[in-house]
Amino acid sequence: MSVDILFIYPPTGWSPKAMNIAENDAPPIGLLYVAAAARRGGLSVAVLDLNHPTLTASETVDAISRMAPRIIAFSVLTTASASVKRLVAPIKSAFPGLPLVAGGIHATVLPEDLLKAGIDFVVRGEGEERFYELARAIIDGKPVDKIPGVVFRDGSAVVAGPRNVAIRDLDALAYPARDLVPLGDYGQAGAICGSRGCPYSCSFCSSVLSQGHLYRTRATAKVVEEMDSMHAEFGTTRFQFFDDNFTADVERAAALSKALLSRSYVWACQTTVMELAGRLDVLDLMFEAGCREVYFGLETGSRRLMQQYKGLNPERALVVLTHAASRVSNGNGHPASRLQTVAGFILGHPEDDEQSIEETVQFALTLRSMGVDTMMSIMQPYPGSLLHRTPARYGVTIENTSFEDYLYPKANLSTRHLSRERIRDLYAGGLLRIMRTYETGVV
Ligand code: B12
Ligand code: SF4
């Protein structure tokens, strides 16, 4: 077997065996979009997800040798950048001259980090159009310096093509090439994207600089069509929307829900509270249409910070979250169950202090007593976020620059109010109090 392109999805910083697989149990949708576009252009493609099944470096080299690709292309999140760097040397020594390409969020925001490690070409931004052009140019021996988004080394110089602009018409894209991965092995096999980008600009989010504020949506009919095709091809009935913010356009969320009323699919999404605060009817509609899990990025439970970040107050947030958590259905075409409601919090915001963190933990405990699940993480300085780009502006110090440690339970920065160690201890203490509510059922 030989292929033009072998796409590789590397593991995050945790060793695959120690990794909480649920965190990483989704097919790499971004990479599968890029693979589908390359295939549509006539290139033969294969995908190796090093998490499914987990492969060591030498097993990866063996797999590459069996597939004999003309180009290797990695999808790189920051937490996976160390894995990619570790793979470069064995691949280069086994296959000298084989071009190595990288794309994805980390490659987009820090291309030189990967070029320095031996990657030959980086594609910044959305890869569907640009990767295909690059791959064709490499195969045909044509120049690559005019391709938007492409960055490469020329001797000691780093050459960058023009800026890669965001794709406007998401409906024109080929569906992600899900057939190239062992779809049945993923917990979140129903991953699907109905929109890209987000109109907000939270300081800790990499979407801001990597995808810009350009919020783009697909036609609802097209999204439903893709769900139907996944149902027909893979038997999918449970879907996970990977949109950054499912209700960023609340009317669109309502329209998509209406279109799903006639299907018996179950689905999950992530969103923010703001848009739904005055539109509980949309939440009801989503539930009626099969939404059975909703993750709210609340980020803080402190009155002061909630106001500052989201223009919200805890009472308003409570109305939305408790409304969601009290939705119960006895069937009606969709599975009889409740709406699992999850509130996500981050500890260690630049303005967090002992008191605001205590308020966040208290708020989480209040939510637990009302049937809402909570998820706590520690603030990370992800490249691509404003916090990483201008830490001094936010009064934070990045104490650890080892990217593989940028995982939600690890403390890697200090703020003007709290040391890194104190953030870690407050997180551990808060988490313990919340975990106890799951053990005992008593809040
Ligand atoms: C859904 C999601 C998840 C899901 C699924 C992840 C998955 N396997 O795909 C779950 C919940 C499992 C998850 C887990 C984690 N996530 Co997450 N997640 C997202 C989210 C909301 C959407 C990702 C997505 O599917 N986007 C849609 C697709 C179409 O876009 P895309 O993936 O960026 O791909 C495009 C381009 O990047 C590029 N591209 C991608 N790959 C390639 C490859 C090549 C060769 C080329 C040329 C181009 C290219 O082209 C694609 C198509 O246009 C993003 C936010 C965001 N906007 O990116 C965060 C995000 C990616 N996650 C993030 C993080 C940190 C994590 C975790 C490490 C959290 C943790 N546990 O500590 C884990 C890592 C797990 C892993 N390795 O998969 C960060 C990454 C930050 C960074 N700088 O790397 C983000 C950006 C959110 C944030 N905090 O800012 N995540
Ligand atoms: S954290 Fe959520 S709401 Fe904030 S910019 Fe990122 S995707 Fe948008």
Rounded to whole angstroms, the Cα distance separating 101 from 120 reads 6
Q: Which domain holds residue 211?
A: 190-440
| 105 CA to centre of ligand 1 in angstroms | 7
Residue 209 is predicted with a pLDDT of 64
**Is the CB of residue 428 less than 8 Å from the CB of residue 411?**
no
Ligand nearest to the CA of 177: 1
Mean per-residue pLDDT over the chain, rounded: 93
Pair 92, 201 in one domain? no
Ligand nearest to the CA of 10: 1
Number of domains in the chain: 2
Determine if the peptide bond prior to 53 is cis (ω within 30°). Answer: yes
Question: Which regions in the chain score pLDDT beneath 70?
Answer: 13-24, 208-213, 330-332, 335, 441-443
Pair 297, 149 in one domain? no
Residue 210 is predicted with a pLDDT of 62
| 136 CA to centre of ligand 2 in angstroms | 35
Encode 274-287: b = buried (16+ Cβ within 10 Å), e = exposed: bbbbebeebbbbbb
Look at the chain and count its residues.
443
Instruction: Give percent of the chain above pLDDT 70.
Output: 94
Pair 263, 393 in one domain? yes
User: Going by CA atoms, what residue is nearest to atom 7 of ligand 2?
Assistant: 244
User: Going by CA atoms, what residue is nearest to atom 4 of ligand 2?
Assistant: 202
Ligand 1 atom with the shortest distance to the CA of 20: 71
Ligand 1 pocket at CB < 6 A: 12, 23-24, 26, 28-31, 33-34, 73, 75, 77-80, 101, 103-106, 123, 126-128, 131, 193, 205-207, 211, 242, 244, 382-384, 407-408
**Is the CB of residue 162 less than 8 Å from the CB of residue 130?**
no
| pTM (2 d.p.) | 0.95
386 lines ligand 2 (CB under 6 A): no
| 282 CA to centre of ligand 2 in angstroms | 20
Rounded to whole angstroms, the Cα distance separating 108 from 125 reads 6
Residue 225 is predicted with a pLDDT of 98
Strand pairing report for 340-347 and 150-154: unpaired
User: Around Cβ 333, how many Cβ atoms within 10 Å?
Assistant: 12
CA geometry: angle 103, 175, 35, nearest 5 deg: 35
Q: What is the DSSP string of 340-370?
A: EEEEEEEE--TT--HHHHHHHHHHHHHHHHT
Flag whether 73 is in a domain: yes
Flag whether 332 is in a domain: yes
272 lines ligand 2 (CB under 6 A): yes
Residue 12 is predicted with a pLDDT of 84
Pair 196, 156 in one domain? no
Ligand 2 atom with the shortest distance to the CA of 201: 5
Q: What is the CATH number of the domain that holds 28?
A: 3.40.50.280
60 lines ligand 2 (CB under 6 A): no
Pair 347, 307 in one domain? yes
Rounded to whole angstroms, the Cα distance separating 192 from 176 reads 9
Flag whether 183 is in a domain: no
Ligand 2 atom with the shortest distance to the CA of 270: 2
379 lines ligand 2 (CB under 6 A): no
Pair 152, 194 in one domain? no
Residue 20 is predicted with a pLDDT of 42
Pair 232, 365 in one domain? yes
45 lines ligand 2 (CB under 6 A): no
Residue 441 is predicted with a pLDDT of 65
Ligand 2 atom with the shortest distance to the CA of 272: 3
* Phi, psi for residue 412 in degrees, rounded to 5: -125, -5
Pair 145, 255 in one domain? no
**96, burial (CB in 10 Å: exposed 0-12, middle 13-18, buried 19+):** exposed
| 85 CA to centre of ligand 1 in angstroms | 18
Pair 72, 215 in one domain? no
User: Which parts of 146-289 fold into alpha helices (H)?
Assistant: 207-211, 220-234, 250-260, 280-288
Residue 19 is predicted with a pLDDT of 39
| 203 CA to centre of ligand 2 in angstroms | 9
Q: What is the DSSP string of 250-273?
A: HHHHHHHHHHHTTS--EEEEEE-S
Flag whether 171 is in a domain: no
Pair 108, 232 in one domain? no
Pair 261, 337 in one domain? yes
Pair 219, 367 in one domain? yes
Residue 206 is predicted with a pLDDT of 74
Domain boundary among 140, 160, 180: 160
Ligand 1 atom with the shortest distance to the CA of 380: 89
297 lines ligand 2 (CB under 6 A): yes
Rounded to whole angstroms, the Cα distance separating 185 from 202 reads 33
